Chains A and B, each alone.
Chain A
Amino acid sequence: NAGVTQTPKFRVLKTGQSMTLLCAQDMNHEYMYWYRQDPGMGLRLIHYSVGEGTTAKGEVPDGYNVSRLKKQNFLLGLESAAPSQTSVYFCASSSSTGGLQPQHFGDGTRLSIL
């Protein structure tokens, strides 16, 4: 079973470039999340979605945009990459809000901004 798949796995960008990270889940989950993970700071929620066509801001949304055009996909966009956005990005999905149902995570996208 694929579960949650993130593409790409690695990427290096120059400051000011834009890119989109793709997350796909095959579990028919309603809820999807984007996190970033930095050393010593744990997981921080960037944006999340409670269903197709809906998105909401998390703890650290600035500099990122998201879209959920299809239930199985959740896209994270960096409009103008900055070195402070160098991080490991994780996508997750759950059948209801993450505090009540377990979240299923992908294996991450390692992003470096030079």
Chain B
Amino acid sequence: LAKTTQPISMDSYEGQEVNITCSHNNIATNDYITWYQQFPSQGPRFIIQGYKTKVTNEVASLFIPADRKSSTLSLPRVSLSDTAVYYCLVGDGWAGNNRKLIWGLGTSLAVNP
């Protein structure tokens, strides 16, 4: 059974690079790793998704080692508006006809001026 572990909280300053790591042992071989961002009183919002190696989009990068037992979300040059909770999500295959999705408990990122 897959399980995800991520830091409860992190602090940073404007302009710094922030790296948030999620550990996910026993991830299903054909499942992706996805990261979401959540602001207060809003639903989570998709940031980035990857399967292996490195993925980059306009807001973040995602690094996944060959064994896929962890992933690191990298936010370049954070600003105050990046203060939010960040969740990793991994698929854990199927249990019969039921899809298994494993959410992390979230990392609360505080960006200070």
Contact = CB atoms under 8 A, between A and B. Distances in A.
A and B are partners in one complex rather than unrelated chains: yes
B99 A90 contact: no
A40 to B, nearest CB: 7
Interface in B11-26: none
Interface in A41-61: 41-45, 48, 50, 56-58
B10 interface: no
B25 to A, nearest CB: 16
Nearest to B42: A107
A42 B44 contact: no
Interface residues of B, number: 25
Contacts of A102: 34, 46, 49
A29 interface: no
Interface stretch (B58-66, B68-76, B85-93): B85-93
A56 B87 CA distance: 24
B31 A42 contact: no
B44 A98 contact: no
Interface string B13-57: 000000000000000100110101000011111100100000000
B46 A103 contact: yes
Contacts of B87: 42-43
B64 to A, nearest CB: 14
Interface string A73-114: 000000000000000001010000111101111111000000
7 contacts: A4-B43, A42-B105, A56-B97, A90-B43, A97-B99, A98-B99, A103-B36
Interface of B: 28, 31-32, 34, 36, 41-46, 49, 87, 89-92, 97-99, 101, 103-106
